[in-house]
Every structure is written in structure tokens, then in C-alpha cells.
């Protein structure tokens, strides 16, 4: 691993908030691209956290403290990921689907969309279908984006699409979905307008739909 982001990677793995902040600053000072710092130093560390959890070496508290270190690092990296002179490209309401509390990926997608000029309505985590409906009905969202990290919460994406349909709003909004267990096939199956496997693909998808 590149030594310019190895300390950052290890700090996230160990849940060391100050270490993650220092790691981001050091990587920026070393001249690394913000996108590389994010992918290689940070998202890669969270993947390893997931692997250690699967192997039974990490438990929920370890995942939680790693997530805190990741968020602390992201807060510092955010201004470097956003470009300043972009016009509004449309309004996106984004949230993690009902039953699901994972928000790092959702926050990253929101951040990248914001960087590409989209106005963001961040509905947070554990978002009930009626909140998405409201974001379209009264919030003026052109796109709604659902994130799901758990196979058990994926069906709530379908339930949310149905709620939007029942509210008579389906033709007023584009629906895009993503999250580690989600696939294009699943998007087709539940009638979403698109799927993106990562935050930068979510940006091109949103741009292609408006
Ligand atoms: Co959770 N967790 N977790 N967890 N957790 C996973 C998801 C898991 C895969 C770990 C594992 O077993 N390997 C597993 C799910 C298994 C499954 O369903 N198949 C799991 C589990 C089981 C659980 C609990 C049930 C554990 C328990 O309590 N026994 C519990 C559930 C709580 C709940 O939600 N109701 C739980 C809890 C937690 C914490 C709270 C401790 C913490 C979350 C903290 C937080 O988010 N603030 C946590 C964490 C950190 C993880 C892992 C380790 C990391 C997730 C992450 O942040 N990844 C995760 C393992 C893994 O994913 N490998 C795991 C980094 C992030 C940048 O990637 O979120 O995939 P990701 O987002 C990507 C893409 O997916 C995509 O773009 C993002 C950026 O490129 N994307 C979208 C995401 N959303 C999108 C929306 C779009 C488009 C793209 O819209 C268009």
C-alpha cells in the first residue's frame, strides 16, 4: 500500500478519529488526489472492516468506531471533493431506506451529487416511504435516491416505489438505487429507473436521467 495513505487506512481500521483526521491532512499535503485518498485510503479501509466483521474478528462496536473515524476524515476531505463553480443540475432527495442505519455510502453519494451541482435533500437514515413521497410532493425532488446496505432492508425499496406510485407521483420523479447488496437486476425487478454501484456512477446516472 502507498505509504501516503497507509496511516489513514490504519487509523480508520482502528477507529482512531484524530489519526484519520491527521491522515487526511497528511495525504492532502503529500499532493494526493482527493478521489484517490477517498477510494484507496478510506473506502478500502471500510471494506476491510466489513471483511473482519464477517470473519468474526470485529463486532458491532468496532464497526461503529471505524465508521466514526471515517466520518471525521470525510468531513475534512469534503471541501476538496466539491468543486465550487457548478450550477444547479436538479434536486435529489436521498436517504437510507427504512430499517437501515448505514449512512456512510449515502453521505458520499450526496456529497458527489452536490459536487456535480445537484441540490440535495438529505432525508437521513431509516427513511419511511412517506418521507420520500413528501420529498417529491412538496419538496420538488426531480430524483429520489435510495441506499440500502442490508439484504433485509432491500425490499423496503420496492415498498417505497409502490408508495410513490400510490401517491400518483411515479411519472414526476426518477428513482435511482444503490448500496453494497443492490444490483442492476434488482433495480429492473422493482421498477427503479437506474442503479449505480458507487458514488461517481450515481452522478453520471443522475445526469443521464434529467
Ligand atoms: Co453494518 N453491515 N450492520 N454497520 N456494516 C454491513 C453492511 C455488512 C455487509 C457487514 C458484513 O457482514 N460483512 C452486514 C450486512 C450483511 C447483509 O445484509 N448482507 C452488516 C450488518 C449485518 C449489520 C448489522 C445487522 C450488525 C448487527 O447489529 N448485528 C447492523 C444493522 C443496523 C441497521 O442498519 N439496522 C449493522 C450496523 C452497522 C454500524 C452501525 C455499526 C456501522 C454503520 C455506521 C454508519 O453507517 N454510520 C456498520 C458498518 C460500518 C458496516 C460496514 C463495515 C461498512 C459500510 C460502509 O460504510 N462502507 C459494512 C461492510 C461492507 O459494506 N463491506 C457493514 C463504506 C461505504 C463507502 O460503502 O455503503 O457500500 P457503501 O456505499 C458505496 C456503494 O454501495 C454506493 O456508493 C457508495 C460509495 O461508493 N452506494 C450507492 C451506497 N448507497 C448508494 C445509493 C445510490 C447509489 C450508490 O443511490 C443511487
pLDDT band at 202 (very low <50, low <70, confident <90, very high): very high
Question: How far apart are alpha carbons 147 and 182 in whole angstroms?
Answer: 9
Give the 3-state secondary structure of residue 85.
coil
Contact 68, 13 (CB under 8 A): no
Question: How far apart are alpha carbons 35 and 109 in whole angstroms?
Answer: 13
pLDDT in tens, 49-66: 989 998 999 999 999 999
Question: How far apart are alpha carbons 54 and 109 in whole angstroms?
Answer: 25
Please give the model's pTM, rounded to 2 decimal places. 0.90
Question: How far apart are alpha carbons 165 and 159 in whole angstroms?
Answer: 10
Q: Of all protein residues, whose CA lies closest to atom 91 belonging to ligand 1?
A: 177
Residue keyed to cell 434536486: 91
pLDDT in tens, 129-164: 999 999 999 999 999 999 999 999 999 999 999 999
Query: What pLDDT score does 85 carry?
Result: 54
Residues contacting ligand 1 via CB (< 6 Å)? 43, 46-47, 49-50, 53-54, 60, 63-64, 67, 99-106, 108-109, 145, 147, 149-152, 176-181, 196, 198-199, 202
More confident site: 148 or 2: 148
- What backbone torsions phi and psi does residue 131 show, to the nearest 5 degrees? -70, -40
Residue keyed to cell 449515502: 106
Question: How far apart are alpha carbons 54 and 205 in whole angstroms?
Answer: 31
Q: Of all protein residues, whose CA lies closest to atom 67 belonging to ligand 1?
A: 105
Rg (CA), the chain: 17
Mutate to test the pocket of ligand 1, among 35, 36, 53, 72 (most ligand atoms within 8 A of CB): 53
- Compute, in angstroms, the gap from residue 87 CA to the centroid of ligand 1: 32
Dig out the grid coordinates for 3 from the structure.
Answer: 505509504
Q: What percent of the chain has pLDDT over 90?
A: 81
DSSP codes of every residue in 51-83: HHHHTTSS-HHHHHHHHHHHHHHHHHHHHHHS-
Contact 104, 70 (CB under 8 A): yes
pLDDT band at 89 (very low <50, low <70, confident <90, very high): confident
Amino acid at each position: 500500500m502507498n505509504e501516503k495513505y497507509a496511516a489513514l487506512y490504519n487509523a480508520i481500521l482502528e477507529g482512531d478519529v484524530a489519526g484519520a483526521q491527521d491522515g487526511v491532512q497528511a495525504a492532502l499535503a503529500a499532493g494526493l488526489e482527493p478521489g484517490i485518498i477517498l477510494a484507496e485510503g478510506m473506502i478500502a479501509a471500510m471494506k476491510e472492516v466489513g471483511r473482519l466483521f464477517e470473519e468474526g474478528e470485529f463486532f458491532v462496536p468496532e464497526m461503529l468506531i471505524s465508521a466514526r473515524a471515517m466520518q471525521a476524515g470525510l468531513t475534512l476531505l469534503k471541501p476538496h471533493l466539491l468543486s465550487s463553480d457548478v450550477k444547479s443540475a436538479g434536486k435529489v432527495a436521498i436517504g437510507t431506506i427504512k430499517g437501515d442505519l448505514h449512512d456512510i455510502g449515502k453521505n458520499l453519494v450526496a456529497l458527489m451529487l452536490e459536487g456535480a451541482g445537484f441540490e440535495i435533500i438529505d432525508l437521513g437514515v431509516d427513511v419511511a416511504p412517506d418521507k420520500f413521497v413528501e420529498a417529491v410532493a412538496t419538496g420538488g425532488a426531480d430524483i429520489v435516491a435510495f441506499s440500502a446496505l442490508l439484504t433485509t432492508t432491500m425490499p423496503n425499496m420496492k415498498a417505497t416505489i409502490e408508495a410513490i406510485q400510490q401517491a400518483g407521483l411515479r411519472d414526476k420523479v426518477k428513482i435511482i438505487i444503490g448500496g453494497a447488496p443492490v444490483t442492476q437486476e434488482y433495480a429492473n425487478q422493482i421498477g427503479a429507473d437506474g442503479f449505480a454501484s458507487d458514488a461517481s456512477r450515481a452522478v453520471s446516472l443522475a445526469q443521464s436521467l434529467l
